[in-house]
Chain A
Amino acid sequence: MSDMMEDMDGEEGVIKKFMFVNRKAPHGTIYALEGLEVVLISAAFDQDVSMVFADDGVYELIKGMNTKGIEVKDFSKTYRALDGYDIEKLYVEKASMDARGLSEDDLIVDVTVLGSEEMANLMAEQDVVISY
């Protein structure tokens, strides 16, 4: 992170490939919300940001959440605002969706669905990978 701060002060910043990997369901733990907050912060640094949703992380993107009953913030709509922050690279692992009986139609945002091998290649390309 200190490199990033220095880059900001320099004439031209270095753009690194940052990947945020989300593997937790929303609400039950704070990981999904905190991960999303960090992604929004990262947008301020003009980096090349990708978000991956795998395992229970695909549940973060389900349409039609209503959190009134459990009295917590419904942050699912924030995913729709990500493109306003130039975060447009959203990837979902197909095997994770299949294992949960989910399809792209169930998701609140447009995503790119990747096979596990494609996901591996994408992860291998990154400079920094941060997991939640």
Chain B
Amino acid sequence: MLNIVNKSATERNSLESCLRMASKGSAVLLIEDAVYAVTQGSAAAAKIQAAMADLQIYALGPDLDARGMSARVLDGVKVVDYGGFVDLVAEHNTCQSWL
């Protein structure tokens, strides 16, 4: 399962719900305003770090760049470009978008 989250964790609870319900070993890709969650000092940073024990966490690079956040990404988070986004979708049997 590839889980995709696109909303800011400090505005909606979609990331929190995703991390709570995602099955072990699945992937979580953060895009758009969700990418703030994987930046140092963010309110969600501790939850992301804890989640990395069971989940693969990815963030979309162009969305980090657009927000001036590329230099602040937490260790262990894999930054992908649009090609990487396509690969993730192709590699997983199912996708779930946590709108």
Asked, given contacts A27-B33, A99-B43, A100-B41, whether A62 binds B69 with beta carbons under 8 Å apart, the answer is yes
Say whether A28 contacts B68, CB under 8 Å.
no
Asked, given contacts A25-B36, A59-B36, A69-B61, whether A64 binds B68 with beta carbons under 8 Å apart, the answer is yes
Main secondary structure of the interface of A (DSSP, over half): loop
Contact with B along A36-69 (1 / 0, CB 8 A): 0000000000000000000110010011111111
Bound form: Cα–Cα A24–B45 in Å: 19
* In the assembled complex, B16 has its CB within 8 A of some CB on chain A: no
Given B40, B61, B67, which contacts A27 in the complex, CB threshold below 8 Å? B67
Q: Chain B residues near A26 (CB, 8 Å)?
A: 66-67
Closest to A29 in B: B33
B44-75 at interface with A (beta carbon < 8 Å): 45, 61-63, 65-69, 71-72
Query: Range of interface residues on chain A?
Result: 20 to 34
Say whether A56 contacts B33, CB under 8 Å.
yes
Q: Chain A residues near B67 (CB, 8 Å)?
A: 25-27, 59, 62, 65
Contact with A along B1-21 (1 / 0, CB 8 A): 000001110110000000000
Q: Chain B residues near A64 (CB, 8 Å)?
A: 68, 71
* In the assembled complex, A70 has its CB within 8 A of some CB on chain B: yes
Query: Range of interface residues on chain B?
Result: 20 to 34
Contact with B along A5-45 (1 / 0, CB 8 A): 00000000000000000001111110000000000000000
Nearest CB of A to B30, in Å: 12
Say whether A28 contacts B6, CB under 8 Å.
yes
Residues of A within 8 A of B (CB): 24-29, 55-56, 59, 62-70, 72, 74, 76, 99-102
Nearest 9 Cβ contacts at the A-B interface: A101-B41, A69-B62, A28-B33, A62-B68, A64-B68, A65-B68, A67-B66, A66-B65, A28-B32
Return 8 A-B CB contacts under 8 Å, by A number: A25-B36, A25-B67, A29-B33, A56-B11, A62-B67, A67-B65, A69-B63, A102-B41
